[in-house]
Amino acid sequence: MSYPEPRYLGDKGEINAVFRSADTEPDVVSASGATHYLAGHASTGGEFGLYKVDMGPKAPGARTHFHRTISESFYVLSGEVQLYDGERWITGRQGDFLYVPVGGLHAFKNDTDEPLSMLMLFSPGAPREEYFERIAEFAQRDREDLKAFQIRHDSYFLDMMDAPGE
């Protein structure tokens, strides 16, 4: 494997780093928790998307699904999260990491009475922000609208009767 082709061709480098302080308010707050856009697709030029997700107690998370164009990774910062790796549920604790390649079945939820915090990394950096911002709204619409929204955002959910581990 080799490095990709250069995208910066200058000789002196640029001042273009982006800082986000820990006390920045979350970008999305929902009934199940909060999502912080640490490095969204626009700020990384589509290289990756990094999000901090804070889930409340007993938060349902996402049921079993896969992505056709992006990989997804989870890194547990605090608390415990149930992670489905396509075969079984695993309890993720502080410092645990799960990588899900493109096409890999996965799910997550908080079954505990305590909150949890984790990082979610998508590669390449798809425009996940609209998904986080509008999924609750689409979940209230009819099934076909929800399905179309999910597919537009590269999220293919298995029907409950077909989903292992649900």
Residue 128: which domain range? 28-157
Is 112 inside any structural domain?
Answer: yes
Is 105 inside any structural domain?
Answer: yes
In degrees and rounded to multiples of 5, residue 138 shows phi and psi of -70, -25
Count of domains in the chain?
1
What value does the mean pLDDT take over residues 134-161?
86
Give per-residue pLDDT as tens, 14-64: 999 999 999 999 999 988 899 999 999 889 999 999 999 999 999 999 999
Is 10 inside any structural domain?
Answer: no
Instruction: With cut-offs at 50, 70 and 90, classify the pLDDT of residue 150.
Output: very high
* Residue 158: predicted pLDDT: 87
CATH, residue 38: 2.60.120.10
Is 139 inside any structural domain?
Answer: yes
Is 20 inside any structural domain?
Answer: no
Is 22 inside any structural domain?
Answer: no
Distance CA(92)–CA(6), nearest Å, equals 37
Is 131 inside any structural domain?
Answer: yes
Residue 162 has pLDDT above 90, yes or no: no
Is 19 inside any structural domain?
Answer: no
Per residue, the 3-state secondary structure of 73-93, as one string, reads EEEEEECCEEEECCCCEEEEC
Asked if residue 118 lies in contact with residue 77, where contact means CB atoms within 8 angstroms, the answer is: yes
Residue 160 has pLDDT above 50, yes or no: no
Residue 136 has pLDDT above 90, yes or no: no
Other Cβ atoms closer than 10 A to 99: 14
Residue 140 has pLDDT above 60, yes or no: yes
Give per-residue pLDDT as tens, 64-107: 999 999 999 999 999 999 999 999 999 999 999 999 999 999 99
Distance CA(84)–CA(137), nearest Å, equals 25
Residue 161 has pLDDT above 50, yes or no: no
* Residue 64: predicted pLDDT: 96
